[in-house]
Every structure is written in C-alpha cells, then in structure tokens.
Amino acid sequence: MAKESTKKAVVLMSGGLDSTTVVGLLLQRGFKVFPLSINYGQRHKAELESMKAIVKYYQDAKTSIEDVMELNLTDIAKIGGSALTDQKIAVPENKEIGKDIPITYVPGRNTIFLALALAYAEVKDCKVVGIGVNNLDYSGYPDCRPDYIQAMIGVAKLSSKRAVEGRPILIEAPLISMDKKTIIEVGMKCNPKVPYHLTWSCYNPKHKLTGGYEPCGKCDSCVLRAKGFREAGHLDMALKEEKSQAPTSTQA
C-alpha cells in the first residue's frame, strides 16, 4: 500500500459495489479521491448514473472527493467480442461461475482503463491509482488476477515522467484477495459507510413498467452480489431503491 504521506488518488469508478468500496477505503485512509468514470458502450449504463449519486453522497458527507472526470470511449464497443458491448450477444444467466472465461469479458478493458487512470493521476499529481478488481468472487476475467495487477504496476513504473523522476504512481487493488462477503463487511465499517444502496451491479438491466431499471438477478454480477450480501448477513437495500435516474436506453 502507498505511504500515508501521499494523500491523492485516482479511482476507476464504475458505480458498482467493488469500485465504490475502494473509494470508501481510500477516503477512510485520508486520501483526496479523484473519481474517473469511463463510458465504453456498456449495456449496463445504469452504473454510470449510480456512480454520480455515490459521488454526491460522499460530497454531502463532506469527504475529500472531487467531481467525476467522465471519459466517453464508446468506440471500444465497435471492437465487439463481449456481451457487455454487443447487443447481439446475450448475457449468460444462471451459469456455473468461474468454470470458463465468460462472454461478459471485455477484451483489453482494464489495460485501457489503467492506462487512462495513470495519465489522469500524473496530471493531478496523485501517488495512487485504485481499482476494484478481486480474484475470489469474480467471473473468471484474466485482468482481475494478482499477476496481471503486478504486471501493470511494472508498466506504471516505466511509463511516466513521475516514475523517471523517482516518484512512480502505485496501482492499488485493495480488494484483490477478498470475497464479496468480506468486501461488504469492510465497506460497512468505513466512516461514512460505503453506500451500497446506491451501487449498481447488474450486467443486463430490465426496464420497469414504472420507469427506470431493475437488476435481472440472474447474471454473474447479480448472483455474486446476492451471495455476498447473504453471507455477510446484510439486506441489499439497492433492491429496494428506485433506479429512476438510470438512462432511458441501454444501447451501446
């Protein structure tokens, strides 16, 4: 982990459970957080609206978090190859998690995101880039593994002016060895508590007759989230929240 003397961090923030927990942990450690949000043409754009509500929650709580830097990279969706960016590919439901790399894997996503986060961190003179990947309760993505993060830490040490000057940017993945149960328990102990009721996890949101969206409850992300809350012994209040701020379309 970074030394506490350096108190600025960029966090790759999606509006989901994991990245929001990383924000909470860094704020708990006294960091000033610069959230970075990337629209890459994902079908679950509801997470982007959730992210804005989460940042407002932390700002209302008078924590040290800046407004979101939003980047629009929807051309990534043109590459295809993932159910998250190609509307013609169905999101798998109720499958055995972790057996194979699923079709929801987005080729190159975390590498592209970390490159952008490192650039933003250098401009903002941040010592840390935070990312919410974990290696236990996850869907089998290759860019969520510890050896991948270690490789990107090496890239960060070679690829910036800061690094050449002896001040490399550190990539931190504090959830890498946690399951969803532990992540939720850790977030609940933060002050302020991580606002899980505002987070969005579902890969395949469903339109509600009353407007907005509701989670499908069947995709990998929904299944892992439900498992985590059940094992942690907490009610998932997000299921009781109206997602009225979600966008009117999920098209990439």
pTM across the whole model: 0.89
Determine how β-strand 206-207 pairs with β-strand 213-214.
antiparallel
pLDDT in single tens digits along all 252 residues of the chain: 554 446 999 999 999 999 999 999 999 999 999 999 999 888 767 788 899 999 999 999 999 999 999 999 998 889 999 989 888 899 988 776 666 788 888 999 999 999 999 999 999 999 999 999 998 766 678 999 999 999 999 999 999 999 999 999 999 999 999 999 999 999 999 999 999 999 999 998 886 656 677 899 999 899 999 999 999 999 998 876 544 333 333 332
What CATH class does 8-240 carry? Answer: alpha beta
The residues with which 35 forms a beta bridge, in sequence order, are 11
Are 103 and 145 in contact, with CB atoms under 8 Å apart? no
